Structure formats: structure tokens, C-alpha cells
Amino acid sequence: MCEDPILIAPNWDMPFELMCNASDFAIGAVLRQRQDKHFGPIHYAIKTMTEAESKYTTTEKEMLAVVYA
């Protein structure tokens, strides 16, 4: 990416999309909506995992990201 993504105001008449992801040490999520042909971010969330959470399986880490979001 060449430029910083700017947060957009939500359009309550349009559907939302929630993207979640997990790594070995952190989880994150982006709430976004389509504007024209591109998605615009509404909110970002990120959290480092505790030592216990970092021992979860990949599936458990992904579900942890969904619950956190």
C-alpha cells in the first residue's frame, strides 16, 4: 500500500464485512464496507495474545479473532 487507509463513516443501508485474522502472537479484525468498487475501513482492532492463547491451534486462534472482533 502506498497510502494510509482513511476510516470511512458507516452507511447503515449497506452490508458490512468483518475480516478477521490470527498469527502466532496477535489477532486482528477490520470492519469495512464497499464504496464504489473498493472496500473502505470503518474500524480496526488488534490485540496481542496471552501466553496461553498463543498455544491454541490455528482454528482456535482464528475463532478467538472472531470473538474478539
Query: What is the number of domains present in the chain?
Result: 1
> Which pLDDT score, from 0 to 100, does residue 42 have?
96
Q: Which three cell numbers stand for residue 18?
A: 468483518
| pLDDT in 10s for each residue of the chain, 69 residues | 456 668 999 999 999 999 999 999 999 999 999 988 889 999 999 999 999 999 999 999 999 999 999
E runs forming strands in 1-69: 17-22, 26-35, 38-48
> Does 51 fall in a domain?
yes
The pair phi, psi for residue 66, each rounded to 5°, is -65, -45
Q: Is the pTM of this model over 0.95?
A: no
| Domain extent for 47 | 17-68
| 22 contacts 59 by C-beta, under 8 angstroms | no
> Does 7 fall in a domain?
no
> Does 3 fall in a domain?
no
Assign residue 45 the CATH number of its domain. 3.10.20.370
> Does 9 fall in a domain?
no
Task: Determine how many CB atoms are found less than 10 A away from the CB of residue 16.
Answer: 12
Long-range CB pairs of 34-37, under 8 A, 24+ apart, other chains included? 35/8, 35/11
> Does 8 fall in a domain?
no
